[in-house]
Amino acid sequence: MDTAVLAQLQQAVEAAPTDTVARLALVQGLIALQHWEEAAAVGQVLLTTAQPPAEAHTCMGIVYAKQGRTDEAVQQWRQALVTSPDDALTLGNLGILLARQEDLPAAVELLEKAVGQATEWAEAHYALGTVFLRQERTYDAIRAFERAIECCTPYPEAHFNCGNAHALRGLNEDGSVDYYELDRAATAYKTAIQQRPGYAAALYNLGMVYQRTRSVEGVRVWNQYLEATQEIPEEETWRLRAQEYTRDLEDRLR
């Protein structure tokens, strides 16, 4: 939304403060422009009306979530679902937020409903996959990530987490490895790196796969990781480990 249209909406609300349609449109415009403080102020009036539209609760949930007011965001989205129980946007946003609050079963339920309503919503499939991964439901996670990739290409994060799911499946309880699953993990990490050159987490995890399989490729990947992260202070701990892994792998391969 451009500023001219936004100005027209602001004038409309000023001229008719009780016009719910105009006020809701203004809130939606402010959200589109990421003007969170103003959106909160304008939208708060909507919530004081006798029967706020479901869209108002949905919008205010988005605003509150962006402001870090998570409890209020959850409350607004739950209220929106009372009157619009099949709204994909509300289902998906609430599911994502509940996952962050560690309510994984509720998050799965909501996100599955969201992707059922909006089958091409890549972000919802991806979010569902991340919850499955945290529950170690690796097969379900892989399916969700693959569906996200079908809906949106490129999607390096989805390839990365698909690799994580395969990597988990590649480590058996008795300490042995499943080379097929680790090979699929490596392929997924490589795709993520192709789509996002210098993807630090993907490079590191790819290095770990090669470390477990004692592949000579590991040395090359560890060096790529070290080069990609040399100016990223938050990677320093992982860089030290990568240097140790590099020396260890070089010793094993001699």
- Domains defined along the chain, listed by start: 1-85 (1.25.40.10)
Q: What is the pLDDT of residue 3?
A: 82
Q: Which two tokens stand for residue 197?
A: 């050159």
Please state the separation of Cα 66 from the chain's center in Å: 14
Three-class SS state of 171: strand
What does each C-alpha distance from 10 to 3, 13, 30, 86 come to in angstroms?
10, 5, 10, 31
pLDDT digits (tens, 9 = 90+) for 147-168: 999 999 999 999 999 999 999 9
Q: What is the pLDDT of residue 2?
A: 80
Q: Which two tokens stand for residue 156?
A: 């390096």
Q: What is the pLDDT of residue 253?
A: 83
pLDDT, one tens digit for every residue, the chain (254 residues): 788 899 999 999 999 999 999 999 999 999 999 999 999 999 999 999 989 999 999 999 999 999 999 999 999 999 999 999 999 999 999 999 999 999 999 999 999 999 999 999 999 999 999 999 999 999 999 999 999 999 999 999 999 999 999 999 999 989 899 999 999 999 999 999 999 999 999 999 999 999 999 999 999 999 999 999 999 999 999 999 999 999 999 998 87
Burial of 153 (0-12, 13-18, 19+ CB in 10 A): exposed
* pTM for the predicted model, two decimal places: 0.92
Q: Which two tokens stand for residue 108?
A: 């799965």
How far is it, in rounded angstroms, from Cα 89 to Cα 107? 14
Q: What is the pLDDT of residue 201?
A: 98
Which residues lie below 8 Å from residue 81, measured CB to CB, with a gap of 6+?
A: 87, 90, 91, 94
Q: Which two tokens stand for residue 110?
A: 């909501």
Instruction: Name the CA dihedral angle for 67, 112, 118, 123, rounded to a multiple of 10 degrees.
Output: 50
pLDDT digits (tens, 9 = 90+) for 58-89: 999 999 999 999 999 999 999 999 999 999 99
How far is it, in rounded angstroms, from Cα 237 to Cα 250? 20
Q: How many CB atoms lie within 10 A of CB 45?
A: 16
Q: What is the pLDDT of residue 18?
A: 93
